[in-house]
């Protein structure tokens, strides 16, 4: 949506009256200052902002502000709405209100105006654009992709799929040659049949009836039988070789697509995964690629083979008897037309089936991952009911698709069989009147049966192609998705950093219309430890997510050694940052594999040194297999404290300059916490550290604390400085936590 919407004529007249030129920005809103539905216009000229109202034929300027008096422009969320306000002489002045339907547009307006009044560079077009729309149908595109499902060109999908055959051109050519050879061999038996009847059986029977010798006919019969056997054997050999080549080619192309898909998933940003179920993504990698493999191995080869057989049969039929051949073609337009009609319907049905199947897989993956929670709260029946709903949707989608096909296929069979009825009647008349030999007639009947078989199969291929193209479309959708966090073309290599970190007026929201961080700023020197403190939802975890560059900031900047992290090569940045999470994630494998995850080339001695520094070496040696002990899925064979110490060992081996600790000592007993604290003390030595801790007392050793409240920095200072502030936010949090601990202790003791 443009930021210059055409002003009504009655409002244009207000601009000259105010001595203004043509507006550079003009947008309409749907709410007035009382948050009631009404039409208002916001216009921006070279030197001022105007808010105008049509007012039922009596237009007037409701507000006028010179740009040089404004210091900042920002949005503020309301319940079901929002507003833009300008800061004038340190006081907010409301410009316009708008409903949630217009949030995207007015966020763009606010960004543009804020940059202008601050004398900053105009935001890039990509920063101002709302959700992209399809250029053809103008529908809003799905997030993370430029593919419009409504306008998807199936031919383009097929063409793109064909490009995967390019690396295997010799195998493809070999398969094509074998298809041609197989088609030629399959057309030999009907021709032999005609010669058998016309030149051997009928003349031989007549010779025998006349008392003549039939040895020559017997030899001819044997010769034709041998030729027939050789043709069948040749067909066998060709089909075996072709089938093996197709199996290799289909499997290899599926392998290429599956690995390419996995690489694409690895480079996508966390925001992509935030809005998708894990099971839905798994379905793309497993189910969709499997459907594609079946189509490539079975559907494509038989489709092409039958096309060649159809063409070959048609040529032979025309050479045998062109009049009968044309009669055979009478049902063909009906078959083709009904197939095209059916194609559109079945494609939509299979799209719904794949969508339902993805949701079912997603639900299953969620429940299996959280099975302990399900058991703990006795929610088995609820989850069964929820899964039944997902399975029911899959059932309804596939039954509808298959029933539609089951209705169409018998109809198609009857229509194609009508060609045989025509040949029987008109061909039989020609045999009776002597214009067609019996051998040619029988060969013709055989070829007609062969003709309509492939024709029916080609119509059946709509089933395969529908599944395959739907699956391929879903695969390409991920392959075409661009990561929101990516290296710029001129990304700076940064193999070593000092560890200075600066947050400069950082603004960010997971939902762009609902900021989580609102102007967070702090300068951290290399080797300094910063504790992040605040209520749940204050933005602590968001800060560390942004430092890791899991997401890009919406406003402001994060700098490492004075360089914006958006300009640093992602791989280099990741190698300089280590993280220890509240819930450490261990991969299926050995303890050694998990410690060396960030440094696969690490020697056993390096792994053991890291484990000793993390206070993990002793408990590891108690296992029969030591460092080769399998940890199970997500490390479930280990206790929480053991998993945490292994994750600390992993971070120590990674040896980052910047360290992030996210509630690293929560949910463990006192003895384990002591061991983890000792390990963390070794880990943070000499490193820039950002730490979030559930127990505020554990942050006493931090150089400074950054107290956050509602996405803003409320206080910054040392533990002692902040605790000394009687009305400070940190002191209030400490007192609240102390009170809760006392109540808990009394409850346990009482």
Average pLDDT of the segment spanning 444-462: 71
Least confident range from 127-141, 314-328, 731-745: namely 127-141
> Do residues 370 and 486 lie in contact, with contact meaning Cβ atoms separated by under 8 Å?
no
Q: pLDDT value at position 127?
A: 43
246-262 burial, b if ≥16 CB within 10 A, otherwise e? beebbebbbeebbeebe
Question: Does residue 606 carry a pLDDT above 80?
Answer: yes
Q: How many angstroms separate the most distant Cα atoms in the chain?
A: 131
Strands 555-560 and 563-564: antiparallel
Is residue 467 within a helix (H) or strand (E), and if so which, with residue range?
helix 438-479
Q: pLDDT value at position 559?
A: 92
Cβ within 8 Å of residue 494, ≥6 positions away: 560, 561, 563, 568, 569, 572, 573, 576
Q: pLDDT value at position 162?
A: 78
The conformational region for residue 550 under phi > 0 = left, psi -120 to 50 = alpha, else beta, is: alpha
Q: Which residue has the higher pLDDT, 58 or 457?
A: 58
Question: Does residue 645 carry a pLDDT above 60?
Answer: yes
Q: Which residues pair with 44 in a beta bridge?
A: 25, 49
Average pLDDT of the segment spanning 518-532: 89
| 743 band by pLDDT with thresholds 50, 70 and 90 | low
Q: pLDDT value at position 125?
A: 45
Least confident range from 8-22, 274-288, 311-325, 387-401: namely 8-22
CA 377: distance to chain centroid?
32
Question: Does residue 204 carry a pLDDT above 50?
Answer: yes
Average pLDDT of the segment spanning 585-601: 85
CATH of 498-573+694-750, one of 3.30.460.80, 3.40.50.300, 2.130.10.30, 3.30.70.330: 3.40.50.300
Question: Does residue 338 carry a pLDDT above 80?
Answer: no
Could you confirm whether domain 9-128 is CATH 2.30.29.30? yes
In the chain, which segments carry CATH 1.20.1560.10?
155-479
Q: Which residue has the higher pLDDT, 749 or 1?
A: 749
- pTM for the whole structure: 0.60
Least confident range from 269-278, 498-507, 509-518, 621-630: namely 269-278
Question: Does residue 703 carry a pLDDT above 60?
Answer: yes
CATH architecture of 155-479: Up-down Bundle (1.20)
The mean pLDDT of the chain is: 79
Kindly state the tokens that stand for 59: 């237009």
Q: pLDDT value at position 284?
A: 75
> Do residues 49 and 64 lie in contact, with contact meaning Cβ atoms separated by under 8 Å?
yes
Least confident range from 123-137, 183-197, 427-441, 705-719: namely 123-137
Whole-angstrom distance, CA of residue 16 vs CA of residue 18: 5
Nearest alpha-carbon partner for 258 in 283, 281, 279, 285: 285
Q: What is the DSSP letter of 163?
A: G
In the chain, which segments carry CATH 2.30.29.30?
9-128
Whole-angstrom distance, CA of residue 668 vs CA of residue 738: 19
In the chain, which segments carry CATH 3.40.50.300?
498-573+694-750
Question: Does residue 147 carry a pLDDT above 70?
Answer: no
Question: Does residue 296 carry a pLDDT above 60?
Answer: yes
CA 427: distance to chain centroid?
58
Average pLDDT of the segment spanning 503-524: 84
Whole-angstrom distance, CA of residue 174 vs CA of residue 179: 9
Average pLDDT of the segment spanning 125-144: 54
Average pLDDT of the segment spanning 561-575: 88
Q: Which residues pair with 579 in a beta bridge?
A: 660
Tens of pLDDT, residue by residue over 654-701, are 888 888 887 755 555 566 667 777 777 777 778 888 888 766 766 777
Whole-angstrom distance, CA of residue 592 vs CA of residue 602: 10
Is residue 742 within a helix (H) or strand (E), and if so which, with residue range?
helix 729-749
Kindly state the tokens that stand for 77: 């969320």
Question: Does residue 104 carry a pLDDT above 70?
Answer: yes
Residue 690, judged by CB atoms within 10 A of its CB (0-12, 13-18, 19+), counts as buried
Q: pLDDT value at position 140?
A: 57
Cβ within 8 Å of residue 431, ≥6 positions away: 437, 438, 441
Question: Does residue 41 carry a pLDDT above 50?
Answer: yes
């Amino acid at each position: 949506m443009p930021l210059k919407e055409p002003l009504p004529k009655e409002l244009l007249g207000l601009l000259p009256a105010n001595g203004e030129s043509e507006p550079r920005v003009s947008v309409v809103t749907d709410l007035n200052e009382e948050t009631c539905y009404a039409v208002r216009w916001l216009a921006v000229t070279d030197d001022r902002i105007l808010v105008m109202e049509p007012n039922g034929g009596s237009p007037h300027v409701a507000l006028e502000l010179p740009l040089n008096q404004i210091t900042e422009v920002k949005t503020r969320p309301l319940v079901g709405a929002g507003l833009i306000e300008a800061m004038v002489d340190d006081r907010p002045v409301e410009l316009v209100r708008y409903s949630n339907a217009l949030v995207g547009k007015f966020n763009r307006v606010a960004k543009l105006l804020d940059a202008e009044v601050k004398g900053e560079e105009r935001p890039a077009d990509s920063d101002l654009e709302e959700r992209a729309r399809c250029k053809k149908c103008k529908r809003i595109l799905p997030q993370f992709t430029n593919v419009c499902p409504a306008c998807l060109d199936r031919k383009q999908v097929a063409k793109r799929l064909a490009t995967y055959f390019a690396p295997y051109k010799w195998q493809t050519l070999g398969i094509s040659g074998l298809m041609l050879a197989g088609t030629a061999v399959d057309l030999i038996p009907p021709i032999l049949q005609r010669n058998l009847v016309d030149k051997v059986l009928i003349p031989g029977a007549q010779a025998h009836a006349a008392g003549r010798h039939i040895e020559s006919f017997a030899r001819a019969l044997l010769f034709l039988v041998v030729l027939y056997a050789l043709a069948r054997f040749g067909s066998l050999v060709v089909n075996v070789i072709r089938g093996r080549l197709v199996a290799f080619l289909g499997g290899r192309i599926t392998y290429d697509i599956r690995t390419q898909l996995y690489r694409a998933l690895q480079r996508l940003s966390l925001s992509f995964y935030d809005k998708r179920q894990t099971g839905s993504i798994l379905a793309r990698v497993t189910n969709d690629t499997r459907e594609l493999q079946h189509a490539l191995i079975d559907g494509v080869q038989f489709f092409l083979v039958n096309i060649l057989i159809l063409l070959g049969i048609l040529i032979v039929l025309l050479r045998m008897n062109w009049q009968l051949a044309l009669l055979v073609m009478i049902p063909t337009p009906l078959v083709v037309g009904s197939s095209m009609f059916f194609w559109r319907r079945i494609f939509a049905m299979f799209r719904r089936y794949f969508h339902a199947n993805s949701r079912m897989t997603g639900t299953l993956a969620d429940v299996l991952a959280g099975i302990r929670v399900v058991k703990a709260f006795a929610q088995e029946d609820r989850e069964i009911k929820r899964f039944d709903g997902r399975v029911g949707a899959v059932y309804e989608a596939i039954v509808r698709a298959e029933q539609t096909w089951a209705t169409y296929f018998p109809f198609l069979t009857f229509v194609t069989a009508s060609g045989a009825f025509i040949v029987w009647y008109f061909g039989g008349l020609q045999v009776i009147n002597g214009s067609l030999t019996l051998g040619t007639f029988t060969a013709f009947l055989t070829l007609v049966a062969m003709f309509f078989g492939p024709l029916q199969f080609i119509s059946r291929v709509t089933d395969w192609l529908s599944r395959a193209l739907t699956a391929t479309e879903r695969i390409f959708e991920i392959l075409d998705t661009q990561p929101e966090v990516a290296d710029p073309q001129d990304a700076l290599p940064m193999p070593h950093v000092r560890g200075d970190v600066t947050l400069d007026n950082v603004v960010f929201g997971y939902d762009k219309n609902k900021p989580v961080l609102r102007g967070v700023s702090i300068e951290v020197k290399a080797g300094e430890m910063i504790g992040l403190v605040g209520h749940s939802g204050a933005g602590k975890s968001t800060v560390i997510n942004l430092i890791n560059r899991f997401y890009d900031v919406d406003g402001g900047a994060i700098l490492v050694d004075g360089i914006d992290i958006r300009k640093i090569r992602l791989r280099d940045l990741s190698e300089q940052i280590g993280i220890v999470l509240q819930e450490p994630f261990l991969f299926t494998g050995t303890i050694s594999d998990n410690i060396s995850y960030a440094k696969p080339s690490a020697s056993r001695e390096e792994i053991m040194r890291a484990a000793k520094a993390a206070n993990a070496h002793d408990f590891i040696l108690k296992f029969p297999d030591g460092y080769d002990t399998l940890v199970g899925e997500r490390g479930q064979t280990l206790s929480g404290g053991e998993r945490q110490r292994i994750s600390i060992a992993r971070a120590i081996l990674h040896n980052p300059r910047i360290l992030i600790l996210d509630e690293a000592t929560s949910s463990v007993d006192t003895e384990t916490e002591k061991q983890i604290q000792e390990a963390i003390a070794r880990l943070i030595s000499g490193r820039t550290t950002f730490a979030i801790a559930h127990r505020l007392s554990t942050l006493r050793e931090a150089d400074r604390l950054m107290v956050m409240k509602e996405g803003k920095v409320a206080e910054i200072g040392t533990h002692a400085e902040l605790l000394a502030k009687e009305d400070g936010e940190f002191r209030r949090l400490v007192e609240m936590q102390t009170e809760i601990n006392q109540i808990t202790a009394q409850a346990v003791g009482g």
